Structure 1
Amino acid sequence: MIDLTDDVVLVTGAARGIGAAAATAAAAAGARVGLLDIDGDGARRTAHLIGEAASWAECDITSEDQVHDAVTALSAELGPVTGLVNNAGRNSYADVVTMTTQQWDEVFGVDLKGAWLLARAVLPGMTDRGAARSSTSPPCTPR
């Protein structure tokens, strides 16, 4: 198992499912975890199940102000963020022909804008502390 002792990991979509499992696994590996979800009651319940290593914030990740406030509050409580799990997502089973613009915007607001807002909020601090890493794959060679 990976050792996340002294790490602070934020997890979006953490009220249930994969997000709750990721937060639980990070805490089990030693991290302090910040749970973000639009379902504040669910995030609170998951944080309670995890225990002292967890804190939570109700947050609509499509809102720049809410992301800023949640990251600021969780960082103040848990410490500087060293990891981010952009798990929140929105499914749509609408027919492409009948799908409304609002449905489209809701899906991509969570799936793309939300992930970008969270990364934008935490990456500068992670980079300053040397906690941010990126990896690149070698270029594909056509055959």
Structure 2
Amino acid sequence: MKSLDGRVALVTGGARGIGEAVVRAFVDEGASVVITDVLREEGRALREEIGAAALFCAADVTSEADWASAVAEAEREFGPVSLLVNNAGIVEFGSIEETDPRTFHRVLDVNLVGPWLGMRAVAPSMRRAGGGVILNVSSTAGLMGYASLGAYVASKWGLRGLTKAAALDLARDGIRVCSVHPGPISTPMTAGMDESITVDQPIARFGTPEEVARMAVFLAAEATYSTGSEFVVDGGATTGSMMLAASAD
């Protein structure tokens, strides 16, 4: 028996990158998965490749109506949703003064308001399923600050806090809520980043989407005593600076 047999999952930003890896990993473990994304062509292609275990639903995470439609399609096709991965996100670079209010709000809308809307939309379905697991994909930027990423950092710290509040609100319904904090992962979002940013990490390389997906499977299937918790997949990036440690010897 596979670890997610009979489970119905909804994965946002599921057409590529970490989301695609999570979709594939969940299907491999026996789940039926609804892929949502604004990238229609990529989403449909992934659904065609996977087959009957997947459904693609074009959706913008900032739209309450799109969330309602995605959950309704999931229930109509597969049954009540018991797994939600809030993975969709965007990043904008700029210092506090360089970032205009419209950009700041847009980042928060996608990265923070979107997951909040998703949890609201999926909670009744999870109750019908008898419980569930929500994974909010934050970032190491939800654990520490980064220059020129004020909007992104604010959104990911906010998502970390929202996770804890949701874990408390939904515990009575048998719904666990955890946050996942990837470090530098090789995805389209990080395609322009210099590999040198990993030089001071204990594991001095970019991670893969599959490594994050394996964490998601563990949290969905095995971490039955964890809720409101942070799980870091970052090559040790948040442990501190190896360079400073070496200079102190």
Q: TM-score, with normalisation over the residues of structure 2?
A: 0.52
Stretch moving more, 34-43 or 93-102: 93-102
- The equivalent of 1:141 in structure 2 is none
Distance in 1, matches of 2:18 and 2:4, equals 18
User: Which residue of structure 2 aligns with residue 54 of structure 1?
Assistant: 54
Moved more, 66-75 or 85-94: 66-75
Q: Does 1:3 align with 2:13?
A: no
With a CA cutoff of 8 Å and minimum separation of 6, indicate the structure with the bigger relative contact order. 1
What residue in structure 2 maps to residue 131 of structure 1? 131
Give the alignment of 1:1-143 within 5 angstroms. 3-132=3-132, 133-134=175-176, 135-136=227-228
CA contact under 8 A between 1:57 and 1:74: conserved in structure 2?
A: no
Q: Compute the displacement of 1:127 (Å).
A: 2.6
Residue number in structure 2 paired with 1:140:
none
5+ residue gaps, structure 2: 133-174, 177-226, 230-249
Q: Is the 8 A contact 1:13 1:89 kept in 2?
A: yes
Report the aligned-residue RMSD. Answer: 1.6
Asked if 1 retains the 8 angstrom alpha-carbon contact of 2:47 and 2:54, the reply is yes
CA distance in 2, matches of 1:14, 1:49: 13
Specify the code of the residue in structure 2 equivalent to 1:29: E
SS in 1 for 2:33: strand
Q: Deviations over 1:40-91 (max 9, x none)?
A: 2111111122221000100011011111112212221121101001111111
The 1:136–1:2 alpha-carbon spacing in structure 2 relative to 1, beyond 3 Å, is farther
SS at match of 1:35: strand
CA distance in 2 between partners of 1:72 and 1:129 (Å): 14
State the distance in 1 between where 2:88 and 2:2 align: 23
> In percent, how many aligned pairs have the same letter?
38
Q: Compute the displacement of 1:2 (Å).
A: 5.9
1:40–1:82 Cα change, 3 Å: same
Q: Mark the structure with the bigger radius of gyration.
A: 2
Query: Aligned with 1:55: secondary structure?
Result: strand
TM-score normalised to the size of structure 1?
A: 0.88
- Residue-pair matches, total: 137
Q: Residues of 2 paired with 1:25 and 1:84: CA distance?
A: 14
Residue 56 of structure 1 aligns with an amino acid whose one-letter code is F
